[in-house]
Amino acid sequence: MSSEASFDPAPLKHRSEEFPEGFPEKFSQGSPEDTSRGSQAGLTEQQQIIRQKICQGHAQNRVQALPPPGNAPFGYKRGKDRYAIDRANAPIVKEFFEHFLLYGSLRGAVRYIAQKFNKAIAVSTGKHWLTNPTYRGDLAYQSVDPPQIIRDTHKAIISRDEAAQVDRLLRRNRSLPPRSASAERSLAGLVYCATCQGKMTVASVGDRGKRQKLKNPKQKDRVKSYLYLRCQTCPQPQKCRGLNYDRVLNQVIDKICNELPKAVSGQGVSQLGNIKAQIESVILAKQAMMEQIPPLVTSGILDTETADLRLYKIRTEIADLETKLSQLPPINLVAIAQTISIPQFWLDLSESERRFYFREFIRAIGVDASQKREEDWNLQLIFVF
């Protein structure tokens, strides 16, 4: 018997009668494509409703300055209405920031906490710690564009001065080669050849044969080595010669002691006090506005929701102004320049401390050593302001 003769299509005609009463017609009739299309449309609409409710809940939390959803950052734990410091992990974060401020090296700070506390983090995580407003006592809401920050919502792990110094270090390190940011020598990454415009790197030269003969590591360290500044990317047929590191360093110190007081006494620096005073006056005016809102709620002029929304907007505006204020140079820059314009001040510093102060004031150092005599070398200091 053929398969065609044995096939009876009659049961399929009455298959719809077998569905229970009240079953949706769109599932019992129509093609499978129409059915899947209808279910996807219903699911998308339901997701949009859930998303709107979640956004409304996040907006209410922002107005009330509550922490955003998710886990608390490392070093904090969730409290009732704000972040609380985790006493077990907060010292790790504090040591991470202190090491970065001392040496200016992100990778070095990551290695430091891995060795001391056995806390292994990625370099990207360390960079996120440095820029995370939570460690500064602020809350950042990334769900709005642009991200909004509310200041002083919980106890901070680092101070405002330390946070401003971290921001300056990060901006300064962007213009340096990756390895120069954490280099041992203070002039690393700052010096370039004025003849070929190439970056000059620090090279150590010593008696390699004498070091190999010695078996004791301490004796090997005592072998005298010489530091030079070399331009390895010089495009000229006759390469630029290497320069003695210590002699260039002494000339840079003499140059900065003579030129730094003149540079900070310019017209732009003299107007710094006026700019800072204007920003501070605007902040005081907005703080006065915040003090006027609670009496308006008590008298019934404003309802609670409107008052909370207004307070939220004013606090975000104050946070933006205080961020601009922290990015300005210190107001006593002239006095600082007079203090550090003493050669003995620079000579008493260690290499890491000298590196910090150099990069705080100098963007680049151009050296024209075309003349053989050191007295005829021409150094040009490019300050950051």
SS3 label, residue 310: helix
Q: To which residue do tokens 């003149």 refer?
A: 262
Helix (H, G, I), strand (E, B) or coil at 59: helix
pLDDT for 357: 84
pLDDT at position 85 is 94
Average pLDDT, the chain: 78
Class at the top of the CATH hierarchy for domain 74-174 = alpha beta
Q: What is the pLDDT of residues 100-136, one digit of tens each?
A: 988 888 888 999 999 999 999 999 999 999 999 999 9
First to last CA, the chain: 98
345-356: average pLDDT: 85
pLDDT at 338 over 60: yes
pLDDT beyond 90 at 371: no
pLDDT tens profile 60-84 = 777 788 888 888 999 999 988 899 9
Structural domain spans, the chain: 74-174, 190-196+245-385
Cis amide leading into 146 (omega within 30): yes
Q: Which helix (H) or strand (E) holds 366?
A: strand 362-368
- Note the pLDDT of residue 276: 83
DSSP secondary structure code for residue 302 in this structure: S
**Long-range pairs for 166-175 at CB < 8 Å and ≥24 separation?**
166/97, 166/100, 166/101, 166/130, 167/326, 167/327, 168/360, 169/100, 169/101, 169/104, 170/130, 170/131, 172/104, 172/359, 172/360, 172/384, 173/104, 173/106, 175/363
* pTM greater than 0.75: no
* Rounded-to-integer distance, Cα 38 and Cα 48, Å: 16
DSSP letter, residue 341: -
Q: What is the pLDDT of residue 151?
A: 87
Higher pLDDT pick, 302 / 61: 302
Q: Residue 157: what pLDDT? A: 95
Interval 85-93 mean pLDDT: 94
| Residue 6 reports pLDDT greater than 70 | no
